[in-house]
Amino acid sequence: MKRELLKWCVGAAAFMAPAMADAQKNLQVNVAAAKADIQPTMWGVFFEDINQGADGGIYAELVKNRSFEFFKPLMGWNITRKQFQEGDLIIMNRADKPANPRYLQATVKNAARGDLGLTNEGFKGMGIKNGLRYDFSVMYRQAAPGVKLYVELVDSLGKTYGGTAVDLSQAGQDWHTAKASFTANATVPKGRMRVWFEGNGVVDLDMISLFPSDTWKGRPGGMRADMIQMLADMKPGFVRFPGGCIVEGYDLDQRYQWKKTIGALEDRQLIINRWNFEFAHRPAPDYFQTFGLGFFEYFQLCEDIGAEPLPILNAGMACQFNTAELVPMEDLQPYIQDALDLVEFANGAVTTKWGAKRAELGHPEPFNLKFMGVGNENWGPQYVERLKVFTKAIKDKYPDIKLVNSSGTDPNGDRFDYLNTELRSMNADIIDEHYYRRPEWFLENARRYDNYPRTGPKVFAGEYAAQTDKVVSIHNKNSWQAALAEAAFMTGLERNADVVTMASYAPLFAHAEGWQWTPDMIWVDNLRAYGTPNYYVQQLYSLNKGNKVLPITLNKDVVAGQDSLYASAALDTKTKEVIVKVVNVSGKPQQVNLDLKGVKSLASQGKLFLLQSNDLNVVNSLEQPKNLAPVESSIAIKGKAVKMEAKPYSFSVVRVAYK
Ligand code: AHR
């Protein structure tokens, strides 16, 4: 037996009651005793630009380093020339555009196609689809017309797959934008884009861009539809954005500043992504944040998929694992102003400064922001000191906004205890808890919230994922073992929905070649995306949320590990269904009798959604995206009881209509 499986069994055994393992388990569900509400926000998603989540991920831009602002200005670009001419392609750095200082200047002399060109390698290549339209655009400036561009898609051997000429017809001191579209004539997983110069003259180029036309909702310059569809398919209650550690930044200069992420793309100042250099074992020297996706786009995404926006803002503190830079208290005001202005940007009337900005960007209606986080994984008295000032200022102006506060990096220990106590004494709205722990921890902590205070702050399980090896190990897998442990643990979140009002797995996305952190919920390459077993666990919870918690017991105790079983129950008062989730973390089948009390009658058939494998090491992959995925079947019901088999290593969701 492998080491991790042995540990798993030891962890699970800790919960085994001395009862006969194979006797029928009678789980009592009292449908008449609906307890707390399950909030619509209960199951959400955590988005961060890590693992190529945004640039090279959901942001569908195919060109890497489109504005030459990476530390190495030509990173991602290769020059092709027939004959070397001194100074034919140079990078200029202007003083009057601090947010976008660099551009490319091309001096072209009697060039024909094939003489002088630039090739962009994309983010680990460009995913090109046969028959799809591609939209090219470029900002240019020239004293006189004379240069033409020819843009084409190529593979690593230089074979072309479609292209078009691009006229640069405007002249003078100003910058202009040229656009051209063409259709690709083959599918190429790792294509590139080449731009040839033709003619004579000197031309300045910036913001060289290529987008597929099949973006989410067909928005030009938008998001990768297949990735967003996977989120929409979860019907998440909220989207937390933009992170994660990138909120804090390596230092304060590199913190996330939402105001720099809205408006014209060429004015959104690029910064290095802190995951560029965070892990020596996963260096990503070409990882920057272009902010092509910014706060406006994130709010719009939330609206598209019916999720509450949950922006997290910097609390005046850089990442405490990195520089731990602090803003002195007397300089905190601009940070607080950013928070106040964000509420106005999201909710303010179009007559307000920031509401007008929202309208100018195309969304006069408010985004209806209800939640906001101050600080991500911050800790210590310095956090509390800053948070108090933030809280007062925000609550004075916007008393209805619910604030999410950090309880640090871990779900226990001195830092957690200190913050938990402080935040509770401040009567915080919502405390954000993070747990990246081994699967056994998730099993052992299924009762974590059973004894939490029922009054005071609510809990946001803001980042969690079972680590099959250890945190930050490259060996962590999105295996069934991890997902099953999370499913077991989540019964405890649902059971305690009066305390836990929000939860999100983290991180969300990873590119198969561009990741820094594993495990992750959804993996992609340039053309494909797949959900891990963890994704399907999250999706099953979210799609089968219900709106009231029901008590479910085994021998009068909550079902949290006895004989390796975990269970929770909910009511959907709109569809008039009882929803029961049963997790069996043992390798043996168990006969379960769900005794539903307090109903007049049950439908004669219910639905069963089953996620199951006898192999705890099973994973999904790009080649086998649904190796493990839920299977729906019907379940016959007699009287007021549902008899089911909790299969070995299984997560079952049963839905039964009641009267
Ligand atoms: O999810 C990855 C990282 O884990 C997040 O950025 C951070 O908040 C946590 O430490």
The predicted-structure confidence for 613-629, as pLDDT tens digits, reads as follows 999 999 999 999 999 99
Chain-centre distance of CA 1, in angstroms? 35
The CA-based diameter of the chain, rounded to the nearest angstrom, is 88
- Computed over every residue of the chain, the mean pLDDT equals 96
Q: How far apart are alpha carbons 461 and 234 in whole angstroms?
A: 17
Whether 641 contacts 580, CB under 8 Å:
no
Nearest CA to ligand 1 atom 4: 244
377 is catalytic: yes
Q: How far apart are alpha carbons 225 and 370 in whole angstroms?
A: 27
Q: Which two tokens stand for residue 421?
A: 């106590």
Q: Per the confidence metrics, is the pTM higher than 0.95?
A: yes
Residue 244 CA to ligand 1 center (angstroms) comes to: 5
Long-range contacts of 356-365 (CB under 8 A, 24+ apart): 357/262, 357/263, 358/296, 361/262, 361/263, 361/296, 363/296, 363/299, 363/300
What percent of the chain is modeled with pLDDT above 90?
A: 96
Residue 8: per-residue pLDDT? 52
Nearest CA to ligand 1 atom 1: 507
Q: Which two tokens stand for residue 463?
A: 């980042």
Q: Which two tokens stand for residue 419?
A: 């913050």
Q: pLDDT tens digits, residue range 335-375?
A: 999 999 999 999 999 999 999 999 999 999 999 999 999 99
Sequence-ordered alpha helix ranges (H) in 471-597: 480-495, 533-543
Q: Give the number of other CB atoms < 10 A from CB of residue 169.
A: 10
Q: Are strands 271-272 and 25-30 parallel, antiparallel or unpaired?
A: unpaired
Q: pLDDT tens digits, residue range 11-23?
A: 444 334 334 446 8
Pocket lining for ligand 1, CB < 6 angstroms: 48, 50, 243-245, 376-377, 409, 463, 506-507, 517
- DSSP secondary-structure letter at 65? T
Q: pLDDT tens digits, residue range 278-332?
A: 999 999 999 999 999 999 999 999 999 999 999 999 999 999 999 999 999 999 9
Distances (CA, A) of 239 to 45, 273, 274, 311, 427: 5, 20, 21, 8, 24
Closest approach atom of ligand 1 to CA 377: 8
Residue 611 CA to ligand 1 center (angstroms) comes to: 27
Using alpha carbons, select from 463, 515, 543 the residue that is nearest to residue 56: 515
Residue 35: per-residue pLDDT? 86
